[in-house]
Structure 1
Amino acid sequence: MNDIEANLALLGITLPSGPAPVANYVPSVITGTLLVVSGQICFGADGRLAEAHKGKLGADVSDADGREAARLCAINILAQAKAALDGDLGRIRRCVRLGGFINAAPTYAGLAAIMNGASDLMVEVFGERGRHARSTVGVAELPADAAVEVEAMFEIG
C-alpha cells in the first residue's frame, strides 16, 4: 500500500468506480507527465446525486452541503485517476491544479469556501504535494442540477 492509499484508508475513504462519461468526452487523458481528469460531479458512493447536493448555492444548497459536494467531486476525481493509472495512485507526484464550478445563485459570494471541500481533501490525501493552483467560478447550471463540479490536473511519474 502506498502513502496515498494509506491516507485514503485513514480518512475512511473507499474510492468508487469512476462514473462513466455522459457525453462525447473521455474521463481522463494522459499526455507526457500530466494526467488531466475531466470534470466530476458530486455523485455519492452509491453512484447517485443526493438531494442535498442538487441545486444552487445561496438558494437551495447550504454551505456545508456545498463543501461536502466538492469533497465528493474530489473523491470521484481520485477514482478516475486510479482507473487511468491502472490502479496505481502512487504514480501521482503532485496535484497541479483544480478547477471548480459552483452552481450558484447570482448574488452568492462564497464560492472559494465551497471549493475548499475539494482542495482540503487533496491536501489531506497528498500532504504538501496536494497543494495546487486553482480556479473557482460560479455558473448558472451544471449537469443533473449538481451543486458542484471539479476538474483536475496531476503530475505523474
Structure 2
Amino acid sequence: MQVYTIVQGTLGYLDPEYLQTSQLTEKSDVYSFGVLLVELLTGQKVIRFNKPEAERSLANYFLYAVQENRLVEVLEPRVVEEGSVELLQAVADIARFCLRLKGDERPSMKQVAIELEGLRNMGVRRHFSAWNGEELHYEKETVYLLGEGAENNDSIRNEAIMSIAAGR
C-alpha cells in the first residue's frame, strides 16, 4: 500500500528544489524558514503581485538586494531603528544561507538554531565555515535583542508578559 501526500501551502515558501524533483527534504524546511526570516526583516509579503515580475518573489528580491549591498534599503524601517546594522546583517546572512537554491548547500535547522541562539545570547557572530566552505568573519561584540544589557536578555517570554501587563 502506497501513501500519497499532497503538498499544500503558499508558493513563495516552497523549496525551489521541490518544484524540480517533487521531493521534500529536511532542507526544504530550512528554505521555508529562510523565507520567514526575510518576511520578518522586511515586513513584506512573500508574494507581491503589485510589484514588477522581477520583484514579485520576496526571497529573490531580498537575495538580489543583499548581493547589491542594499540590505538596509529593503529592511522594515522599524527593524532598522531597533537593531544594530551588524545584528541585522548577521540575521540576513542566516536567511541568505537558508535560501540557497541547492538543498545540500543550506545549513540544517539545528545549525540555524545555534546561530540564532548565539546572536540572541551573546551577540557573537559565529563562522559559517561548516556551510559549504564559506567563511564570514565579524568582530566580536555584545548585542542584546531586548535591551542594552544582559538583564533584559530573557527571551520573548518576558516581552509577551510585559505586553500583556501593559494591555497591548
TM-score, length-scaled by structure 1: 0.29
Structure number with larger C-alpha Rg = 2
